[in-house]
Structure 1
Amino acid sequence: MISLLRSLWQVSIPATLAVGIAASPLCAQNKPAQDPAAPSGQAAPKQAAATEKNAATDRASAYYNFSMGHLYAEMAQAYNRQDYVNKAIDFYRLALKQDPSVSFITEELTDLYIQSGQLNKAVTEAEDLLKRNPDDLGAHRVLGRVYTRLIGDPQGQQGKIDEKMLQRSIEQYAIIAQKDPDDTESALLLARLYRLNHDTANAEKSFKAVIAKESDNDEALTGLAGIYSERGDTKQAIDLLKRSSDENPTPRTLVTLAQLYEQSNDYGDAANAWQGALELAPDNDRWRRALAQDLLFSDRLAEARKLYEALVAEDPHDAVVQLRLSELYLQQHEIPKSRAAWTKAHEADPDNLEVKYDEVALLDAEGKTDDAIKAMKSIIDSSTKPEYNTAERAQRDRLIERLGNLYRSSGKYQQAIAAYRDISPDDSENGPRAEYLTIETYRQMKDMAAARRESDAAMKKYPKDRLVVIEHATLLADGGQVDRAINEIDGLKDGKNDRELLLADAQLLEKAKRFTDEQRLLDQAEQLSTTTSDKITVRFARGAMLEKMKDFDGAEAAFRAIIKDDPDNAGALNYLGYMLADRDQRLDEAQKLISKALEIDPQNGAYLDSLGWVYYRQNLLDNAESNLRLALERMGNDPTVHDHLGDVLMKEGKVKEAIAQWQSSLKSYDEAAGNSDTDPADMAKVQRKLEDARVRVARQGRAGDVR
């Protein structure tokens, strides 16, 4: 044991000995007199040598007394004898007196006081020492550690702390930090105490003081980043840790950086940070799971799949991993594999709410929407309670929203609205969102009058909510009041988080065909886009704008650039494919693009309409008709789909059926009257087709040959 203590002392003391010896009471008592022949402030050589000898003697004595204290402490623990405890305390006190700078002496002495229930004695002795010598660092450290132990457990179930002990701890460690600025351990503890006391200004100052001395101190870096994050400045926190991890990566900084990226919903960079942490600690299973999840959330599906399949091979009964693998397979449209993984998750944890919830998405993907609705209602009913706390109410609201979305996607609009109205209106997030979803459902029903009434009421309740304001502005623009709509959105801008609002303004300008102004706003939004996903969103809007401007080459280039960077972007695949089909160009390529979009999102009615239209162009009329009818099932009475189906039926010689589809198309246009998305030119084309078909029916009727 002595050899172990010797090595411990040799490792621990040198870093602190210089300051500690200089500050120790013994050294102060043995301060040499000045040599008359020496320059002012310099000790004579003999006296300096004596000082060094005294310091060495103090160190040797401190080492001896610490070793004896440690020995008696171990014996006290082994034999449960109070006299050994007292002897250990006496030896530790002597060691601390001889070298108060060595922190582990204080730690062991304080721990011994605490373990033996002698806290009052520890405080009394330390206070007595300070009365005799206010600069006794050892006494300050004992008091600081004792007071810190008495603060309580802020992370415990009760979360209570003793404010008086907290203030006393801060007082002691502030003194230590002032008298021993090289004691980074105490400085870090002081910073943590300041944070616990909600004194972020002093906490920040303490962390920065440590970083000034040790630029790579990961605890100080992550602590400072935590302060920035708590202030809402996640970007500054990320920048701080990114610079540090680029120069000197440590597991702690990389893990904190990953978590900050997750808070910003930047899962791609979060995954990169987890990968860096795992390079330093490859066996950390928790980090591997976090990496896999962020790879999944950032759509790096191939990487996520490889990692999840490795994790599930290690533990096939891990419900969470099986569930994530099921979600991944579902995104890759491997529905049988998704079902198999979900079944294993359910077998491992049948009562897990998330497992039950994920089956809803799986049933919907399998085309069993009614079963999905039934499963969702069962989840909601099973979680019904007389009262809910805030977290429970928020979770229930999310479940109800999912039920409403299922109703809406299956054309059951009134049930959807009823579900959205069951969402708590008092929740600051879910209340406005429920209003937004209700308005959108009315729009989808083509009931624009109801949508406007609902939107006006929502604006009175939530005048500063972005979703509500943007939706209200969109309805104003639908009615031709574009400038008023833009003014409403501009009223939310604060110069900090304006990207989403710029995109909303751009969309309104596109409705009004004010493309020059739209281009300017898209340029501004692109400058504020930091993630790949954000940039793709702007590029998509730009491509759509160019298509509306009839700049088809520019639009095609924009969508091809998106597909190059994001090959599974279903929206871009469909848009480009439909654009080619509508212009009767490169139809085989168009069919492949749209088919891939449908592989990614097989329930999307708009994509089914696109595929039906390209089949029409290819003269594959049976395929065209079946896809267009399926699109109507998905989308309800959509004027464009009715128009396309009318064209197909007319080409098949089914004139009366074609007339019925064009009549339905015009009816849908009439129901959407006042919507700026409705193009009068499109309505006029349908009207001409209908009139021509009626003329044909009249002629064929006279000839006795009409279908």
Structure 2
Amino acid sequence: MTFFRRIFSARPVFLTAAALLATLPVAAQQKNAPEPPRGPDRSAAYYHYSLAHMYEELAINQGRTDYATQAIEEYKLALNADSDSAQLQNGLADLYLKLGRVREAVSVAQEQVKKNPDDVEAHNILGKIYLRSLGDGTPNNQSQQMLQLALTEYKAIVRLKPDSVEDHLLLGQLYALNHENDKAEGELKTAQKLDGTSEEVILAMVRLYGEQNQYDRIAQLINALPITDRTARMEYSLGLTYDQLKKPKEAAAAYQRSLDIDNDNLDAQRGLASALLLDGQFDAALKQYQDIVTAEPQDAQSYIRISEIQRRQGHYDEALTTLKKAKTLVTDSLELSYNEALLYDSLGRFDDAVATLTKLLGDTAHADGNYTDGEKNNRGLFLDRLGIVLKEQGKTAQAVDAYRQIIALGGDNVSRGYMGEVDAYRDNHEWAKMTAAAAEAAKALPKDKSVQMVYAGTLADTGKVDEAITIAKAQLGGDDDRDTRMQLAQMYIRLKRWKDADEQLSQVEGITSRNEDKIYLYFSRGTLAERQKLFDQAEIEFRKVLTLDPNNAATLNYLGYMLADRGQKVNEALDMVRKAVELDPQNGAYLDSLGWAYFKSGQYTLAEEYLLKAKDRISTDPTVYDHLGELYLQTGKLKQAVTWWERSMKEYKMALAPDADPADQAKVQKKLDSARVKLARATPSRTSALQDK
């Protein structure tokens, strides 16, 4: 039996490479080879290849460079025996690659490609080398060169292996890296046709569409797969996509399916908890966050979210306790401090809220006044909340100062700051300053249609109607100028020009297709109908909104208040307004609506609690004081009723014309006069009291 037959016989021989090498004759281990024959000597080539393979194994297993050198020499001897062998050429190139001798690997593989352009293995080796070079931290120009070389190789590979999912996937990713998105999509779609449920292919397409902000396409891509074929990562990606599309209900469902597949994924559970919170499912969100902190007790972010839910559910003391727990885990969280300020505001601890926000602004201030875009956004948010709290305290000048600081941040913050300033003066009934601030904003931002419309609105409110409408109409950019027409319709509603308002809304209706736009349209139609006392029609329009967005706080408040005020469907109305307050617990108008709904349902203690909270937040609203008067009359506190109706009339006299319906004023005046008479009758005169003595 010859030597090779003994080595590779059918009978298994369990020898290591070292042991096998030891069995070779001494002459066989010598490096020097005879002159190669004129033609291929395949037996000699096979012999040296076998030795090369054994030395390669020894080099890898034992980390010995001498064996690596010997393996290379044996490959070269094998190639001397059979220089046209693609297997030998590629084997040597691959060995060079394993040893980190990249330049030599490239040289050998390129030589083989020149000999045989269709040698897929040689292209594979070159492709792997160039791929590795992309991530080695080389300068950009070299990276770009490596990218082009890698593209060349993988284009050749997919030509030679058209049914390879992995190679189409890699080529698609390379095209994406080269910003050739159409070609990238084409390769990934080819890979998807070859394997429609490949997780790697689907996620690569998700990344491609995500980089282009094409979130609708991601949703379509994953939803096209049967649920049973989706992996946990696919569902997680779908949840993230719905987050971007601001569809929390759909996001929650996707995250839940991801967890059903992999229930140990805390990232998916955090996504589910966040989506539930955004969807207003507070109890369900709270449970998820509580499960998260049980699994990961050091997760300060989840404690902050738990505190937020407790605050929004009105459990203020619990929320404060939870925040204190979060503080033990993290000391420099901007979000924690901001939520603490919101909590103090909810508790009516306005000074504490101001102090917390002021400290937050101080801690994040830069002496040179230079901020990144992210820092500007944060400061704008903090200053805006500070302005709101200061307005609630009646500190208008300080609130305006906060809004001026927002303006100084520049960019998108400018219009936000001006609008805050206008609202601060409006809330304090400083009409001249309100109009002046709006005029300044309009001059500073002449191309900002929203700012121009706010200025027009202030002019209309203060009686300069013709000038206001001229400015507003000048903002129209054509029949498709949807947003401007909506704002113009709102102006007409405040001016009680019902026909003009309806005309604008009708034009908008013809160019409205997105659900987000339909919501605003239906809400405006509901407002128009309610202001004309067409309550049934108003209810139809408001319910259209809630069909599209069950958590639309403004609509829940408006419809709930309208129903409660008329004594209709009071329990449902109470649920609606309660939900609106949960969604926006610092909104004074919503608090007033909730107090009034409790009053209408006969729950006077709760009515008083929420009406007083509303009074603290919107202290210039005559309606709140009217409601307090009704409450105290009903509960037998006549003197207090008189006090609040007197305050209501005072606010009516200071209000703008669109906010002071003469019929409403007349009703309050009548109630006040009647209460005064009753109070006079119930209070004995001083003379009578002396005669009684």
Shorter-chain TM-score bucket reads 0.7 to 0.9
Equivalents in 1 of 2:486, 2:652: separation in Å? Answer: 31
- Could you report, residue by residue, the CA deviation over 1:300-334 in whole angstroms, capped at 9, with x for unpaired residues? 22322222222222233321222222222222222
* Counterpart in the other structure of 1:679: 661
Equivalents in 2 of 1:594, 1:295: separation in Å? Answer: 20
* Counterpart in the other structure of 1:396: 379
Letter in 2 for 1:123: V
SS at match of 2:498: coil
Equivalents in 2 of 1:332, 1:627: separation in Å? Answer: 14
Equivalents in 1 of 2:72, 2:170: separation in Å? Answer: 24
In structure 2, which of residues 231, 240, 249 is the aligned counterpart of residue 268 of structure 1?
249
Letter in 1 for 2:534: D
* Counterpart in the other structure of 2:113: 130
- Could you report, residue by residue, the CA deviation over 1:164-197 in whole angstroms, capped at 9, with x for unpaired residues? 2222222222232333322332222222222222
* Counterpart in the other structure of 2:184: 203
* Counterpart in the other structure of 2:130: 147
- Could you report, residue by residue, the CA deviation over 1:206-241 in whole angstroms, capped at 9, with x for unpaired residues? 223333443334444443444444444432333233
Equivalents in 2 of 1:700, 1:325: separation in Å? Answer: 52
410-419 or 466-475, larger mean C-alpha shift: 466-475
Equivalents in 2 of 1:65, 1:413: separation in Å? Answer: 91
* Counterpart in the other structure of 1:12: none
Letter in 2 for 1:547: E
Equivalents in 2 of 1:298, 1:109: separation in Å? Answer: 60
* Counterpart in the other structure of 1:291: 272
- Among the aligned pairs, what percent are the same residue? 34
User: Unaligned stretches of 5+ in structure 2?
Assistant: 1-7, 9-41, 689-693
SS at match of 2:241: helix
In structure 1, which of residues 73, 76, 100 is the aligned counterpart of residue 59 of structure 2?
76
Equivalents in 1 of 2:175, 2:297: separation in Å? Answer: 45
Q: 1:486 touches 1:508 (CA, 8 Å); kept in 2?
A: no
In structure 2, which of residues 498, 523, 533 is the aligned counterpart of residue 513 of structure 1?
498
Name the CA shift for 1:97/1:288 in 2 (closer, same or farther; >3 Å).
farther
* Counterpart in the other structure of 1:480: 465
> In the alignment, is residue 353 of structure 1 matched against residue 338 of structure 2?
no
Equivalents in 1 of 2:650, 2:151: separation in Å? Answer: 76
- Could you report, residue by residue, the CA deviation over 1:565-590 in whole angstroms, capped at 9, with x for unpaired residues? 98876655544454355446677887
Instruction: Spell out the pairing of 1:16-35 with structure 2 (5 A cutoff).
Output: none
Name the CA shift for 1:87/1:170 in 2 (closer, same or farther; >3 Å).
farther
SS at match of 2:352: helix
* Counterpart in the other structure of 1:30: none
User: Unaligned stretches of 5+ in structure 1?
Assistant: 3-56
* Counterpart in the other structure of 1:664: 650
| CA-CA distance at 1:467 after TM superposition | 4.7
* Counterpart in the other structure of 1:18: none
87-96 or 172-181, larger mean C-alpha shift: 87-96
233-242 or 115-124, larger mean C-alpha shift: 233-242
Equivalents in 1 of 2:354, 2:262: separation in Å? Answer: 44
| CA-CA distance at 1:623 after TM superposition | 8.6
* Counterpart in the other structure of 2:514: 528
Q: 1:150 touches 1:165 (CA, 8 Å); kept in 2?
A: yes
631-640 or 585-594, larger mean C-alpha shift: 585-594
Name the CA shift for 1:207/1:465 in 2 (closer, same or farther; >3 Å).
farther
Q: 1:173 touches 1:186 (CA, 8 Å); kept in 2?
A: yes
Q: 2:392 touches 2:616 (CA, 8 Å); kept in 1?
A: no
Instruction: Spell out the pairing of 1:484-563 with structure 2 (5 A cutoff).
Output: 484=470, 487=473, 490-491=476-477, 503-511=486-494, 512-514=497-499, 516-517=502-503, 520=506, 523=509, 527-529=513-515, 539-556=522-539
| CA-CA distance at 1:529 after TM superposition | 0.4
Name the CA shift for 1:696/1:185 in 2 (closer, same or farther; >3 Å).
closer
| CA-CA distance at 1:466 after TM superposition | 6.2
| CA-CA distance at 1:253 after TM superposition | 3.1
* Counterpart in the other structure of 1:372: 353
Letter in 1 for 2:151: I
> In the alignment, is residue 308 of structure 1 matched against residue 289 of structure 2?
yes
- Could you report, residue by residue, the CA deviation over 1:387-443 in whole angstroms, capped at 9, with x for unpaired residues? 433333333333222322322333322222211221264643333322222222222
Equivalents in 2 of 1:494, 1:70: separation in Å? Answer: 73
* Counterpart in the other structure of 1:171: 152
- Could you report, residue by residue, the CA deviation over 1:586-612 in whole angstroms, capped at 9, with x for unpaired residues? 778877876776677665433454466
Name the CA shift for 1:362/1:642 in 2 (closer, same or farther; >3 Å).
closer
Letter in 2 for 1:679: D
Q: 1:646 touches 1:661 (CA, 8 Å); kept in 2?
A: no
Q: 1:153 touches 1:161 (CA, 8 Å); kept in 2?
A: no
Equivalents in 1 of 2:575, 2:687: separation in Å? Answer: 39
* Counterpart in the other structure of 1:250: 231
| CA-CA distance at 1:374 after TM superposition | 0.6
> In the alignment, is residue 443 of structure 1 matched against residue 429 of structure 2?
no
* Counterpart in the other structure of 1:43: none
439-448 or 639-648, larger mean C-alpha shift: 639-648
| CA-CA distance at 1:523 after TM superposition | 4.9
Name the CA shift for 1:175/1:486 in 2 (closer, same or farther; >3 Å).
farther
- Could you report, residue by residue, the CA deviation over 1:504-523 in whole angstroms, capped at 9, with x for unpaired residues? 45433433323543663675
Q: 2:188 touches 2:201 (CA, 8 Å); kept in 1?
A: yes
**TM-score normalized with structure 1 length:** 0.74
In structure 1, which of residues 201, 223, 235 is the aligned counterpart of residue 204 of structure 2?
223
84-93 or 446-455, larger mean C-alpha shift: 84-93
* Counterpart in the other structure of 2:219: 238
* Counterpart in the other structure of 2:618: 635
**TM-score normalized with structure 2 length:** 0.76
Aligned residues between the structures: 633
Equivalents in 2 of 1:65, 1:536: separation in Å? Answer: 78
Name the CA shift for 1:604/1:262 in 2 (closer, same or farther; >3 Å).
closer
Q: 2:312 touches 2:582 (CA, 8 Å); kept in 1?
A: no
Equivalents in 2 of 1:364, 1:337: separation in Å? Answer: 15
CA RMSD in angstroms, aligned pairs only:
4.7
Equivalents in 2 of 1:621, 1:399: separation in Å? Answer: 36
| CA-CA distance at 1:620 after TM superposition | 9.7
- Could you report, residue by residue, the CA deviation over 1:341-387 in whole angstroms, capped at 9, with x for unpaired residues? 22222112233332222212222222212111111111221222234
Equivalents in 2 of 1:678, 1:628: separation in Å? Answer: 20
